[in-house]
A and B are shown apart, each in its own frame.
Chain A
Amino acid sequence: MPLLQIEDLHVSYQGRTGPVPAVRGISFALERERLGIVGESGSGKSTIGRAILGLLPPSASVTAAQMRLHDIDLLRADQRTLRRIRGKRISMVLQDPKYSLNPVMTVGRQIAESYRVHTRASATEAKRKALEMLEAVRIDNPERVYDLYPHEVSGGMGQRVMIAMMLIPEPELLIADEPTSALDVTVQAQLLVLINELIVRRGMGLILISHNLDLVASFCDRVVVMYAGRVMETCKASELDRARHPYTKGLLACRPLIDRARPELPQLARDPAWLDGPVAA
């Protein structure tokens, strides 16, 4: 049985003038692998992560033929079940630690709290685990960093804290929504290496959501390309350069490349037929 199974997922938000469809019938299955979901703005990629964890506003409508983690039905789960799943079995790392960390609590305490929410650990035990985690995410001097506030740490360090927080309850699946977009390129590389190490060592599944095709291609095992709420193409990351769908090919072609000089970048011509295009992975 796959780790995560999604079939025909539809999500609409409640806009001012009526429902706004964000995801229109996507399906994929995830084993213990690294899956990348790539798309531009409006493709619905960020919505998927939130839909899986039940973190969408109550006015949003979520329907699917199937949405399960192992044998747990995520679609029909009540809030209590979802709360037990969030963090303990599925965790999510968001884009900017400036906004996702509590500004008035030290980072160490936040990590410890993440641990205590899911286990009946004492404060000392939780602190010990938190320090362990800080070391695992390669932060030098974890004792000192434990007492720092989020605004006192750099972006890269904040993301490491975020990862520590999200992995401390030892979930099976990590959803990373643009985890490196707010970071400098040198820090990005280090962070991805770290995530990879932790995922592989713990045998976790990973869903990496990004707008950066190159990042996803080099880091993930499989890639799902989304456009306007639907899946255009799914392929192995190593075979991305042999993509078949015109949207994927167009995206690949319009990237500026350091090692190739071109007078003009080819532009992506959007075919309206894509709006009704393929759905399944």
Chain B
Amino acid sequence: MIDIRDVLVSFGSGSHRIDAVRAVSFFVEAGETFGLVGESGCGKSTLLRAIAGLQAIAAGSVSLAGHAVGPSRTRAERRLVQMVFQDPYGSLNPTHTVDRILAEPLAIQRLDKVDQRIDRALGEVGMGSQHRFRYPHQISGGQRQRVAIARALIMEPKILLLDEPTSALDLSVQAEILNLLKRVARDRGLTMLMVSHDLAVIAHMCSRIAVMKGGEIVETLPVDRLRRGEADDGYTRELLSSSLEAKRPG
């Protein structure tokens, strides 16, 4: 479903050139949830934005659902992949009601039955009609993320990109959102690509994980190996030990 080959993303030119993503390749099967983990500056968010069509790539190819996509996407290609962003306070326009936020993609994609779709989207993320005409400052952080998820899903994409969707949320709210994402992925057969710095969250959500450092993938491993701490690469082991160090049995 997602096929990335030798993608290079660079900023600047000549002597000031920075390669944020270097020769990265991986694939994600349909219906799979794939994790990209790494520390700040490793290029995971840049790569995600390149797949989303928000960032031009300097070399390599990105294929979604079997066909290659370029930096400028057609409307149909836009419908295929949607994204949920990290900061619930920045991902909704403060001057738009929830209703307008959800109606906008429908209008852009020229979909019909607007009211029905909006009601259904709100219900799917566990919000009610009393929230429909509220403004973002009138709903909580967790609710904003739900609206962001509803916005992403209302166009019925096949692929959902998630950029640290819960790192700005409280622990208890994070649990709710992660449960919601899992349920939605299962019900709709979504392919998900999730970026996070939190190994526990990634291990909970994903079936396969790629570890990034300095713009490159240093290792790709299935989740059960990650859980057992069986990593080949030294950096992966370092990440694991830093995360596990602080864990207490619950």
Contacts and interface: CB of A to CB of B under 8 A. Distances in A.
* A–B interface present (Cβ within 8 A): yes
Interface of A: 40-41, 155, 184-186, 188-189, 211-215, 217-219, 240-241, 250-268, 270
Contacts of B204: 256-257, 261-262, 265
B172 A250 contact: yes
A211 B170 CA distance: 8
9 contacts: A188-B242, A189-B245, A251-B171, A256-B203, A257-B250, A258-B247, A260-B227, A261-B224, A264-B179
Interface of B: 39-40, 141, 170-176, 178-179, 182, 197-201, 203-204, 223-224, 226-229, 238-240, 242-250
Given A241-B250, A258-B243, 18 more contacts: A41-B170, A184-B39, A185-B239, A186-B242, A211-B171, A212-B246, A217-B246, A218-B247, A250-B172, A251-B171, A252-B250, A255-B175, A256-B200, A257-B200, A261-B223, A262-B204, A267-B172, A268-B175
A253 B242 contact: no
A252 B250 CA distance: 6
B248 A241 contact: yes
A240 B179 CA distance: 25
| Residue of B40, B199, B238 with most chain A CB atoms under a 10 A cut-off | B40
Nearest to A270: B172
B175 A266 contact: yes
B107 to A, nearest CB: 34
| Interface of chain B: mostly helix, strand, loop or mixed | helix
A95 to B, nearest CB: 13
B246 A41 contact: no
B248 A240 contact: yes
Nearest to A185: B242
B187 to A, nearest CB: 14
B178 A258 contact: no
Nearest to B178: A265
B180 to A, nearest CB: 10
A171 B93 CA distance: 45
A186 B42 CA distance: 13
Contacts of B199: 185, 258
A255 B229 CA distance: 19
B160 to A, nearest CB: 18
Given A186-B238, A255-B200, A265 B250 contact: no
B213 to A, nearest CB: 11
Most buried by B among A217, A258, A260, A267: A258
Contacts of B223: 261
A211 B203 CA distance: 21
B170 A264 contact: no
Given A185-B39, A214-B246, A265-B179, A258 B171 contact: no
B245 to A, nearest CB: 6
Nearest to B199: A258
Contacts of B176: 267
A264 B249 CA distance: 18
Among B239, B240, B249, the one with the most A-chain Cβ atoms within 10 Å of its Cβ is B249
B6 to A, nearest CB: 27
Nearest to B186: A263
